[in-house]
Amino acid sequence: MRRRLSSPFTAPVPPRLAGAMVRLQYERISAHLPWLCLLLGVHSLAMALALRGDLPQWQQWGPPGLISAICLYVLIRNRLRNRAQGRLPRARIYRHLRRASMTSASVGLIAGIWAANAFSHASQQYCLAAPVFIAIAALTSASCLMGVPRAAVAGMVGAVAPIALKLALSGMPAMQALALMLVLMTAMQIHVVAAKFKQNLAMLDLQHQAIRASMTDPLTGLDNRLAFMRMLEDRMRRDRPMMLVLADLDGLKQANDTHGHLAGDAILAEVAQRMQRLGARALCVARLGGDEFAMLYDISRGQQLALGEIAAVRAGLSLPIVWNGIIVSIGASFGTAISPLEGADAAALIQSADCRLYADKAARKSAAPQMMPQRVWRF
């Protein structure tokens, strides 16, 4: 329960979308924050001037001065943060969004209590000025904060609740009707904010699915060449020691020619499952195309674990595959290369692994003839 209340979201967000969602919220609040701070600061000072003489000095200037100071602090802090830092980690963005909700609730509550107090002590001519204008400011602020729904809702409720309560307890039917309208408008705005959040979430989900589809091999579910190359290049830019593993299946073409492409597809899918299961420590397992596969290992703590998994993958791929009563024996040739020793860039590293793969394939062909697919006979 506590975790749900501290979340910046107003609806459940799948873990795969949480990072993108918080970044979208952070970008939107950063874009609207300067204008929002300016609006709230100027608005509160204007209302203090409008009520001049009707309230004691500390009641007249204290709340708007505090609201303006908070807005100025938030604005300066946001500008300094944007200048000093690039892409923030998700944990820090979560903290910023939680602070935004607390700040919005605090400012809204200060403004709401101030407006309710002004309604009680201002002259009859101006008694409604503060409540109406503060309510308008709250609803306008909620529109600016729509990308951060909890902050929008917290600010609205904090500002409107004291005003609506004061008007409802005034005993005047007109004021009670106004209180009801404020409550209904706030409820409608909350519904709009929640609906907008769900719309943004659906949009991100579609984007995620499209990106994932463009980076996934449709037959095996592994990463495709594009995804693999992006990870390889990114790791090499960061100068992380890696082991690149290229694998080329032996016997797939013969199975295709003998039993058709459905058999070949089934073999590729089974190979992908075995590589994922046996190469669990790999950063990436990808199908580059045809019967070519690749794996990428982080070897910053040594090569032994990677070499052990590669041996397990080789042994696993040599086990027979059964498809529609047919036993197909295949194998795989492997080639490895280590960065940065055997390749300063992605192309050089792949070439080094390719050379070893072709040498391994030649050695396998000379050592043993390729096994033929066999029929499983049932009696």
Q: Domain limits of the chain?
A: 2-214, 225-375
If one counts every other C-beta atom within 10 angstroms of the C-beta of residue 81, the result is 13
If one counts every other C-beta atom within 10 angstroms of the C-beta of residue 302, the result is 9
Looking at residue 51, what is its pLDDT?
Answer: 67
pTM for this model (two decimals): 0.62
Looking at residue 372, what is its pLDDT?
Answer: 40
Dihedral angle over CA of 179, 185, 191, 197, nearest 10 = -120
Looking at residue 2, what is its pLDDT?
Answer: 45
**Superfamily of domain 225-375, CATH level 4:** Reverse transcriptase/Diguanylate cyclase domain (3.30.70.270)
- Helices 173-214 and 149-168, axial angle in degrees (round to 10): 170
The CA–CA distances, whole Å, from 136 to 4, 32, 40, 74 equal: 29, 17, 11, 21
If one counts every other C-beta atom within 10 angstroms of the C-beta of residue 117, the result is 16
User: Please, are residues 283 and 298 in contact by the beta-carbon 8 Å criterion?
Assistant: yes
pLDDT in tens, the chain (379 residues): 444 445 556 566 777 777 777 777 777 777 777 777 887 777 777 777 776 666 677 777 888 888 888 888 888 877 776 665 556 677 777 777 788 888 888 888 888 887 777 777 665 555 666 666 676 677 667 666 766 788 888 888 888 888 888 888 888 888 888 889 888 888 888 888 888 888 888 888 888 788 888 888 989 989 999 999 999 988 888 888 899 999 999 888 888 878 888 888 899 999 999 999 999 899 999 999 889 999 999 888 888 888 999 999 999 988 888 888 888 888 889 999 998 888 778 889 999 999 999 998 888 777 655 444 443 333 2
As a whole number of angstroms, the distance between CA 178 and CA 129 comes to 13
The helices-and-strands tally (H runs, E runs) of the chain is: 12, 7
DSSP label at residue 371? P
Token code pair at residue 129: 């000025």
Looking at residue 167, what is its pLDDT?
Answer: 83
Three-state DSSP state, 288: strand
As a whole number of angstroms, the distance between CA 2 and CA 65 comes to 33
If one counts every other C-beta atom within 10 angstroms of the C-beta of residue 237, the result is 10
User: Please, are residues 48 and 64 in contact by the beta-carbon 8 Å criterion?
Assistant: yes
Tokens 């101030």 found at:
114
Q: What is the CA radius of gyration of the chain?
A: 32
* pLDDT tens-digit readout, 255-273: 887 888 888 889 999 999 9
Looking at residue 275, what is its pLDDT?
Answer: 93
DSSP label at residue 286? E
